[in-house]
């Protein structure tokens, strides 16, 4: 990834030293007040939503319609209990409800004609209310014989098989949100100030690029940690559990320039040197400090100035003070 603009003006200069032709590559440098660095921070992917689904009532599992790896939409029937007994009770409750409804209407007419007492009408209304509550009760029980997908998701785990007799609340399946995932990353405090909530940042997952939005920054659970838990959200689905790398591009303040690594020569005191050609075609040696490497280039500081002509190639064949024609 090209994380910093490097401006090189390269020319070729052929000279003759000791009667032997020598070709030098010369580049004109530009000075900068900062350089860009890519910090890679590993994190782990988690599902935004994750649920272990269970039946609210006990019974015998009749069918499980999905298996591990299946994608499901919200509201899809995932599993069902044997509902024959509840269905029979519901049918009976429906019949009692219809009868109570008919009797209530008849008693209302009789009361209007003065043929029955208010107490008899009250009894009919009470019987109707009881019948309605029984019908509602078994209707809810029938609905509870099914497990529906709570959201669009991916079946992560299957714990039981058809034919198993279960108690209420025993997990049958585990489903993960298949639309959004989060990356949890331990971020040092010195980098926390470099990021902003709701901003989008670049990630790398097994060589593939992705964009994640910073959702939340929280203290780490470990006591005394100087890191913060950075949570990034993705609109693209990735398999939870995978390792993903945040590629955080930040600017570091330093006065210097970019040069090819092959232009460097080792010098004394832990420093490096480069060779330049001045206006009188004299070769000069400049001491530099390497601040940062990126690929085949290095960001260096030292006595170099804007417009200096640095020898890029062939520097090992020249010496300081040498004149070129």
Which pLDDT tens digit goes with each residue over 22-36?
Answer: 678 889 999 999 999
Q: What is the pLDDT of residue 318?
A: 81
**What residue ranges define each of the domains in the chain, with the CATH number in brackets?**
9-39+255-317 (2.40.420.20), 43-49+177-251 (2.40.30.170), 54-176 (2.40.50.100)
- Report the Cα 182 to chain-centroid distance in Å: 4
Cβ count near 241 (within 10 Å): 12
> What does 101-132 look like in DSSP terms, one character per residue?
HHHHHHHHHHHHTTSS-HHHHHHHHHHHHHHH
Give the chain's end-to-end CA distance (angstroms, integer). 39
> What's the rounded Cα separation, in Å, for the pair 87 and 89?
5
Residue 6, both tokens: 């490097």
Of 170, 160, 173, 167, the closest CA to residue 51 belongs to 173
> pLDDT tens, 231-257?
999 988 888 889 999 999 998 899 999
What average pLDDT does range 289-304 have in this prediction? 92
pTM: predicted TM-score of the whole model, two decimal places: 0.62
**What are the C-alpha distances in Å from 244 to residues 11, 133, 206?**
42, 54, 8
User: Which residues have a Cβ under 8 Å from the Cβ of 312 and sit 6 or more positions away?
Assistant: 10, 24, 25, 26, 27, 259, 260, 262, 263
Q: What is the pLDDT of residue 150?
A: 95
φ, ψ of residue 139 to 5 degrees: the values are -65, -45
**91, 96, 98, 100 alpha-carbon torsion, rounded to 10°:** -170
> pLDDT tens, 126-140?
999 999 999 999 999
Q: Do residues 290 and 298 lie in contact, with contact meaning Cβ atoms separated by under 8 Å?
A: yes
Q: What is the pLDDT of residue 5?
A: 40
Spell out the long-range contacts of 293-297 with Cβ–Cβ below 8 A and sequence spacing 24 or more.
293/261, 294/3, 294/4, 296/260, 296/261, 296/262, 297/6, 297/258, 297/259, 297/260, 297/261
């Amino acid at each position: 990834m090209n994380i910093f603009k490097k401006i090189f003006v390269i020319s070729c200069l052929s000279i003759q030293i000791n009667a032997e032709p020598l070709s030098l590559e010369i580049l004109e440098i530009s000075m900068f007040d900062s350089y860009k660095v890519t910090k890679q921070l590993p994190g782990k992917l988690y599902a935004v939503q994750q649920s272990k689904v269970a039946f609210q009532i006990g019974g015998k599992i009749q069918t499980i319609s999905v298996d591990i790896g299946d994608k499901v939409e919200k509201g899809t029937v995932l599993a069902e209990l044997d509902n024959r007994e509840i269905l029979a009770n519901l049918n009976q409750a429906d019949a009692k409800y219809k009868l109570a409804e008919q009797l209530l209407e008849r008693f209302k007419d009789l009361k209007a004609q003065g043929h029955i007492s208010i107490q008899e009408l009250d009894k009919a209304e009470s019987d109707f209310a009881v019948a309605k509550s029984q019908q509602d009760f078994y209707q809810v029980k029938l609905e509870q014989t099914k497990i529906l997908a709570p959201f669009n998701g991916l079946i992560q785990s299957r714990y039981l098989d058809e034919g198993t007799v279960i108690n209420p609340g025993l997990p049958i399946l585990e489903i993960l949100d298949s639309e959004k995932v989060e990356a949890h990353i331990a971020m040092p405090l010195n980098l926390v100030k470099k990021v902003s909530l709701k901003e989008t940042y670049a990630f790398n997952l097994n060589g593939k690029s992705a964009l994640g939005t910073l959702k939340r920054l929280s203290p780490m659970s470990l006591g005394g940690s100087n890191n913060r838990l950075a949570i990034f959200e993705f609109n693209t689905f990735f398999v939870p559990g995978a390792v993903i790398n945040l590629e955080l591009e930040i600017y570091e303040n330093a006065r210097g320039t970019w040069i090819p690594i092959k232009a460097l020569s080792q010098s004394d005191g832990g420093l490096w040197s480069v060779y330049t050609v001045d206006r009188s075609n004299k070769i000069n040696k400049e001491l530099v400090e390497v601040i940062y490497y990126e690929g085949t280039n290095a960001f260096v500081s030292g006595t170099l100035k804007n417009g200096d002509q640095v020898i890029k190639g062939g520097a090992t064949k020249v010496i300081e003070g040498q004149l070129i024609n």
